[in-house]
Chains A and B, each alone.
Chain A
């Protein structure tokens, strides 16, 4: 069934001060209504401070990351958007006109990017409000309804998170730093807006539920009316929030207490130049520049520091080898130890040394992985590490001796193999591994064994 899905993503920015006041932006580890002042609680007579400059710059950078055209050299007003809700202390939200338009992220068009402030936290079931979050700066990213399935939406959101976190300018996703309003219309039905979604999973589930609900209605011959619904996370359903056949009229006016912004073209250029390369573009470049597989590049750009490390290493190690190692073994070790690339303590040089040893067959890949694990736990010179752990690749002569010894000591297995039982080979290979304390490459072992046993035929 045809459907159109569009998203309005609200992303918190990483600043120390709130957007229009100097309160701290930490709202999660403090008691309720602690990081507040007359401005972010909407006390009578309170006036905003001038907008937080870092927010404007960060928004421009995010917009450029998303391939948008920044609105330059004409006034961008900060407007008052009026509506009544308990978490909105002044009865209006300060929201800017678009600072950028017409972007694109992996095939989904970005309609606009603008600045907003977060309202307070309202618990609708209990009826309580905490204004700690009120005034935290947000950037809102609005897409065109280009997504065609919940899977599309999920994929887009994951990509978007990657791009945003890559800039280092946003608060990490945990704890509601990114919230999404989802708009969906099925063929034959009106547009439904779903609010109160706090995670990518939530967006996906909300859409799945909503599609089922709407299909059922249409199937019964009932209309799907235009409305706003709330997503209830615990039950994974959507429920009507307010019925509106018409658009709510927010009665926008430019905020008389805040002068408009005019973004200067030169500043945009400067930001563009010092900007961190966005992951989706970096992925492309890595694949082309280093001749590595798209899938590997994709994993490598999952974290900016991870990709930085890769490019450092690829200068002195075969990029394809490095790519494989980054994509599989290093990622595996990091995941297992629950570390981000940012937590890595070893130096690039140390990793280069290790990978060069693997590249030049000084140690086997399996030994390399062991060494890597140790290296992550405690950075040290890899050469010394390998020696200490006795991981050095065994010399060819010693391997030959070990193979011959294993053949001598396991005559029954040899007979079985020669009689056609292939798995006996692995058994003998295992014995070789024991004899060599794992210092031989299993592939080498098998090669040698076959050659030796061939002689016996």
Chain B
């Protein structure tokens, strides 16, 4: 388990598989499966040419980048020069990105080949993969069920083997949620670790770009490439590049303190919790010490989040006035996007600021403090990723029922800490992901636990 990416890289490095061949296969697979799965909004017509250029470069004896020859899907809210960054919305359906996001520059610098733009919930406002203006995405691991969101296309593409790695984004769980539903690996890095220059905002103080991969190694590798300080933006942690694949080598978690919270049990369906409990046992068997941690206000993270993200999203969308590019967002967007804009507009009014926005920011302080305190006692906190199994595509849910998927993923975004998801098991064939959360800049520990678990599951 967990050897897919490494095996592919070995094949590419040894010459057994050429970059061009790898890209062609990916394009074929996409061509065959995308009509049903709808994981990609746009395929990169220049991918083969890029692979050819890479082969020429390697022939000349140049050093191969870390991602050399790998086919990488990019979520449609990240700018890739020359491809459309639609955010799965009519607002930007014709917006051809005029520059490369910093993470894209880094992927290209390590010889990754961008294979296409992944489908997503419109403007990342969703947790199901059903709100794209270009049609819902299916879950290849549980056909007919939602793949989760908002990085629905990324999760599905990896689950269906349409490409090697994907970049998704996570604001309230949008990488971890689809990773769990689709049975793949996803990581939300510590806030400020990965540059956001070129990422079309949902919530500026919450968004992070992160890897979606078939295995922990792949996620660690892609994380390594994209993480590290960017001088060309302001709000970033002052950290230089680090290696993450080092951290998971021979992953051994003997003696590590792993926290579990009774509050998770209260929030989560028993079917899901059963799978998680078994996972925790596995961790115990691997030598970890399981420690109880209290997160008494974890549920209040959700309302705080939705108030904050609405205000930030309202602000972020003021630029979509249809004058410079695209269309005016309020004229063409979907319901949930409009809902968040209107909600944000409402609560950011001068007279309501204290009551709603500022109050939510106070709750944020409390949530952060609780998580930080818990992470003082343990190395990581494990538990379920989502409180319930994914519903069938097209099922009508109330607003609160939809938002409820986010209960367990939101706290990490509010606090700014990191969190990763690895497949824990299944319920009636439907994947369930184990979430591992760590301190700020604790990706090493998180990945180690994930890898150790992956190796035995």
Q: How far is the CA of A42 from the CA of B324 in the complex (A)?
A: 9
Let me know if A124 is at the binding interface, CB within 8 A. Answer: no
* A46–B197 touching, CB < 8 Å: yes
* B85–A257 touching, CB < 8 Å: no
Q: How far is the CA of A257 from the CA of B198 in the complex (A)?
A: 13
Let me know if B357 is at the binding interface, CB within 8 A. Answer: yes
* B201–A45 touching, CB < 8 Å: yes
Let me know if A202 is at the binding interface, CB within 8 A. Answer: no
* B350–A251 touching, CB < 8 Å: yes
Residues of B close to A51: CB separation below 8 A: 234
* B85–A47 touching, CB < 8 Å: no
The interface-forming segment of B9-17, B152-160, B311-319, B367-375 is B311-319
Residues of B close to A41: CB separation below 8 A: 324
Known: A82-B315, A89-B319. A44 touches B345 (CB 8 A): no
The interface-forming segment of B91-99, B259-267, B406-414, B446-454 is B91-99
Residue numbers of A with Cβ under 8 A of B are: 38, 41-51, 80, 82, 84, 86, 89-92, 129, 249, 251, 253, 256-259
Query: Which chain B residues (74-112) contact chain A, with CB distance < 8 Å?
Result: 77-79, 85, 87, 92, 95, 97-99, 101
Q: How far is the CA of A89 from the CA of B325 in the complex (A)?
A: 11
Residues of B close to A90: CB separation below 8 A: 318-319
**What's the count of A-B pairs with C-beta under 8 Å?**
92
Chain B 195-209: CB-based contact to A (< 8 A → 1; otherwise 0): 011111100110000
* A251–B235 touching, CB < 8 Å: no
Residues of A close to B97: CB separation below 8 A: 44
Known: A45-B200, A82-B318. A89 touches B324 (CB 8 A): yes
* B234–A45 touching, CB < 8 Å: no
Q: Across the two chains, which residue of chain A brings its CB closest to B318? A: A91
* A92–B315 touching, CB < 8 Å: yes
* A91–B319 touching, CB < 8 Å: yes
Q: How far is the CA of A393 from the CA of B20 in the complex (A)?
A: 95
Let me know if B445 is at the binding interface, CB within 8 A. Answer: no
Residues of A close to B79: CB separation below 8 A: 43-45
Q: Across the two chains, which residue of chain A brings its CB closest to B326? A: A44
Let me know if B323 is at the binding interface, CB within 8 A. Answer: yes
Q: Across the two chains, which residue of chain A brings its CB closest to B203? A: A256
Interchain nearest-CB distance for A117 vs B (Å): 14
Let me know if B321 is at the binding interface, CB within 8 A. Answer: yes
* B235–A259 touching, CB < 8 Å: yes
Known: A89-B324, A251-B345, A256-B205. A45 touches B199 (CB 8 A): yes
Residues of A close to B204: CB separation below 8 A: 256-257
* B235–A258 touching, CB < 8 Å: yes
Query: Which chain B residues (373-416) contact chain A, with CB distance < 8 Å?
Result: none
Q: How far is the CA of A310 from the CA of B270 in the complex (A)?
A: 88
Let me know if B437 is at the binding interface, CB within 8 A. Answer: no
Residues of B close to A249: CB separation below 8 A: 349-350
Let me know if B428 is at the binding interface, CB within 8 A. Answer: no
Give the size range of B's interface with the partner.
35 or more
* B315–A259 touching, CB < 8 Å: no
Chain B 34-72: CB-based contact to A (< 8 A → 1; otherwise 0): 000000000000000000000000000000000000000
Q: How far is the CA of A257 from the CA of B345 in the complex (A)?
A: 19
Q: How far is the CA of A149 from the CA of B136 in the complex (A)?
A: 65
Let me know if B233 is at the binding interface, CB within 8 A. Answer: yes
Residues of B close to A46: CB separation below 8 A: 99, 197-198
* B234–A43 touching, CB < 8 Å: no
Instruction: List 5 A–B pairs whose Cβ atoms lie within 8 Å, in order of A's numbering.
Output: A38-B198, A45-B198, A45-B201, A50-B234, A257-B235
Residues of A close to B314: CB separation below 8 A: 251
Q: How far is the CA of A92 from the CA of B233 in the complex (A)?
A: 18
Q: How far is the CA of A43 from the CA of B199 in the complex (A)?
A: 10
Residues of A close to B318: CB separation below 8 A: 82, 84, 90-92
Let me know if B240 is at the binding interface, CB within 8 A. Answer: no
* A91–B235 touching, CB < 8 Å: no
Residues of B close to A251: CB separation below 8 A: 314-315, 345, 348-350
Residues of A close to B320: CB separation below 8 A: 44, 91
* B233–A48 touching, CB < 8 Å: yes
Q: How far is the CA of A257 from the CA of B319 in the complex (A)?
A: 15
Interchain nearest-CB distance for A359 vs B (Å): 60
Among A38, A48, A84, A92, the residue within 8 A (CB) of B234 is: A48
The 9 A-B pairs with the shortest beta carbon distances in the complex, nearest first, are A91-B318, A256-B204, A256-B205, A251-B348, A50-B234, A45-B200, A47-B233, A90-B319, A44-B200
* B235–A44 touching, CB < 8 Å: no
* A253–B234 touching, CB < 8 Å: no
Residues of A close to B234: CB separation below 8 A: 47-51, 257-259
Residues of A close to B99: CB separation below 8 A: 38, 43, 46
Interchain nearest-CB distance for A253 vs B (Å): 6
* B232–A49 touching, CB < 8 Å: yes
Interchain nearest-CB distance for A37 vs B (Å): 8
Q: How far is the CA of A251 from the CA of B233 in the complex (A)?
A: 24
* Among A45, A48, A129, A251: residue with most chain B CB under 10 A: A45
Residues of A close to B98: CB separation below 8 A: 38, 43
Q: How far is the CA of A358 from the CA of B200 in the complex (A)?
A: 72
* Among B199, B321, B345, B350: residue with most chain A CB under 10 A: B321
Other contacts beyond A249-B350, A258-B234: 17, CB < 8 A = A38-B98, A43-B79, A45-B77, A45-B78, A45-B79, A45-B197, A45-B201, A51-B234, A84-B321, A86-B323, A92-B315, A92-B318, A249-B349, A253-B311, A257-B204, A257-B233, A257-B235
Among A42, A47, A49, the residue within 8 A (CB) of B196 is: A47
